[in-house]
Amino acid sequence: MSEKQYSPALPPATLGVMGGGQLGRMFAHAAQSMGFKVAVLEPSSDCPAGQAADSMIVAGYDDQSALAALGAQCVAVTTEFENVPADSLALLAQQTFVAPAAQCVSVAQDRLLEKRFFVDCAPLSGVMPAPHKTIASTEDIDAIPDDLLPGILKTVRMGYDGKGQVRVKTRADVAAAFAAMNGVTCLLEKMLPLAYEVSVLTARGADGESVVYPIAENVHRDGILFTTTVPGPNVSDECALRAQDAARSIVAQLGYVGVLCIEFFVLQDGTLVVNEMAPRPHNSGHYTIDACVTSQFAQQVRAMARLPLGDVRQHSPAIMLNILGDVWYEGSGDAVREPDWAKVLALPGACLHLYGKEEPRRARKMGHLTLVAPSLAEAHAKLRSACAILNIGLDE
């Protein structure tokens, strides 16, 4: 965060977003509902956030004249994905308030920096990351300890939604995967006996105040988030408290301002392991739009505008289902047809969010559906019905 002191920003001031994806789109909706205007900087002119924004700058994320134009019109700027160049955020911070700050984003952009940060946080947070090792050469592969395998080899930068990750059982597997990744620096992470995965959505203001949302339990398919269930059916009160306390500690030690999502593994013996963090609103927090007093996007608006953080109370059990481009296709063929949204919306408590992407592609996030109900059992029943309508297999 810049050392400059900023007063609260009030409507109808303009808030800036680096990035034009669906997170920027939902941020724009939240900001506009509070009376703010939204400007987006994004290289692609046809993007989800651009459809919703009041103004758009079509340029690269490192275009200095474009950054100057964004900073000139905005009282604050945020990012909607973590791979915006940290140097661009630092440059913007010379002109306007930026949240999260460049140094916070740079930690989350690099798996090695992120792991080191989690280790440094451990004395206060009480959680450690999985055992890991840097793989930057064939010598590093030869030096892999026996107890670090089997594991997952991950590129240090630019991996998301399962991309840049390969499961490995032997040193030969690591060597093959490392070569397939063109020898870029990687992180080898030990496979652990996982019981389930959770994420903790937290927000911290410039004044140091923080809030933590209820614990979300996540299920992934092929590296992509499939469902988020809140409250998590397997999460004990004790586990939830440990995860929330750890998140509060981590966000404070990072000196972060904005919405931060931290993902944890819960092992079969109950051990909590910190996995990774996203310096922005998160896919697993989409349920907050329909099931909480303050959505994660409204919370991001409040934090970057230096306004009081909102109430994180969840008023209804909810399950969020990611909608991928696959549901536009019949079986394994290439024919595309529109899903039966009317039938989906006939389900009580069904809240549909489509992202304005014209071309459905398999494995592409096209939207999400949140099933809100008086009880988790009823939400599960609605999920089963929705999956049947959309021809999504549901393993139970």
d(CA 187, CA 165): 9
Residues contacting residue 299 through CB under 8 Å, at least 6 positions apart:
203, 211, 259, 281, 288, 309, 310, 312
Output the known binding site for ATP.
111, 154, 159-165, 189-192, 197, 220, 275-276
Position of tokens 């096209």? 366
Q: How far apart are CA 49 and CA 16, in angstroms?
A: 11
Element of type H or E holding 56:
strand 55-58
- Rounded to the nearest 5 degrees, what angle is found at the Cα of 348, between the Cα atoms of 342 and 352? 50
Contact 42, 49 (CB under 8 A): yes
Q: Hey, which residues does 166 pair with through a beta bridge?
A: 153
At 261, the amino acid letter reads: C
Structural contact between residues 301 and 31, judged by C-beta atoms closer than 8 angstroms: yes
Question: Any residues with CB less than 8 A from the CB of 310 and at least 6 apart, and which?
Answer: 211, 293, 294, 298, 299, 302
Output the six-digit token pair for 31. 């900001």
Question: Which residues sit in the known binding site?
Answer: 111, 154, 159-165, 189-192, 197, 220, 275-276
Q: In a 3-state reduction of DSSP, which class is residue 209?
A: coil
Phi and psi at 44, nearest 5°, equal: -95, 130
Residue 58 one-letter amino acid:
V
